[in-house]
Amino acid sequence: MKIGILKTDAVNPRWVGEYGEYPDMFAKLLSDVDPGLEFVTYDVEEGQFPADIDEVDAYLMTGSKSSVYEDKAWIAQSMDLIREIDARKKKLVGICFGHQLVAQALGGKTEKSTKGWGQGLHTHTFNQTPQWHDGDNPDFNILVSHQDQVVENADGAEVLAGSDFCENAVVQIGNHILTFQGHPEFTSGYSSEIMNFRREMIGEEVYEKGMASLATADQGDRVARWIVNFLRSE
């Protein structure tokens, strides 16, 4: 299976040596589960889009420091691509910004949350057990970094998991689109770097709570298995 990674942001250059770019993070995360996967990167933030939607078998859209409601040409073009992917019923996984852009493109709405910043490790809870789930504990721990949230879901979307802070944390549309607000590709070290960098921006209370939360292990590898199960399912 060949996955097209839609790259919507660049990692801070000072961290690339240790953590890689976002496509590197996802390639490692998913290859650890399924070494047979292949990856192609489209730097959509820089205007690079697939010439043919069938160049790959499925797509994954990364997170971004941009907001989906910003007036940027590449964001508008990315929404057009999402609509085409949806119409063609090709597999798409959206992460954070990707999760929010799917909603924005398909009839929903994303905006800056009145609850403020989500940082560090959060626990989200499934309200049902989808076919690609492992059937184990409905709670899962995932690293997050966001201020925007989906406030209205896409047409036909089903909310599978959430929390008091983020009601729309895992969303599925049909059998072809699956999105997560959290970041399974993050490590605690990378999350720590982001919080230190944004300390003044996110505020001391959020910073201290977020940093303390990193003492608990995330379950990015578990989410990776779900993603692969979803991508491989009919």
Q: Is the pLDDT of residue 160 over 90?
A: yes
Number of helices (H), then strands (E), in the chain: 8, 11
Which candidate, 194, 229, 234, 200, places its Cα nearest to that of 214?
Answer: 194
49-78 average pLDDT score: 98
What average pLDDT score do residues 3-21 get? 98
pLDDT of residue 210: 98
- Which pTM was predicted? 0.97
169-181: pLDDT as tens digits: 999 999 999 999 9
- pLDDT per position as a tens digit, 220-234: 999 999 999 999 998
pLDDT for 233:
94
Residues ≥6 apart with Cβ < 8 Å to 59: 3, 4, 5, 6, 85, 90, 91, 92, 93
* Domain assignments of the chain as residue spans, ordered by start: 2-232
Rounded to the nearest integer, the mean pLDDT of the chain is 97
Confidence band for 147, pLDDT divided at 50, 70 and 90: very high
> Per-residue pLDDT for 59 more than 90?
yes
Strand 58-61 relative to strand 118-126, pairing = unpaired
CATH homologous superfamily, domain 2-232: Class I glutamine amidotransferase (GATase) domain (3.40.50.880)
Q: What is the mean pLDDT of residues 91-104?
A: 98
Mean pLDDT, rounded, for 36-57: 98
Please say whether the beta carbons of 78 and 100 come within 8 A.
Answer: no
pLDDT band at 194 (very low <50, low <70, confident <90, very high): very high
> Could you report the per-residue pLDDT of 66-94, keeping only the tens digit for each?
999 999 999 999 999 999 999 999 999 99
Q: Using 50, 70 and 90 to split pLDDT, how confident is the model at 1?
A: very high
The whole-angstrom separation of Cα 221 and Cα 61 is 18
Enumerate the H helices of 89-164 as residue ranges. Answer: 97-105
Instruction: Check: CB of residue 60 under 8 Å from CB of residue 23.
Output: no
pLDDT value, residue 117: 97
User: What is the pLDDT confidence band of residue 204, given thresholds at 50, 70 and 90?
Assistant: very high
pLDDT of residue 234: 83
How many Cβ atoms are within 10 Å of 59's Cβ, its own excluded?
Answer: 25
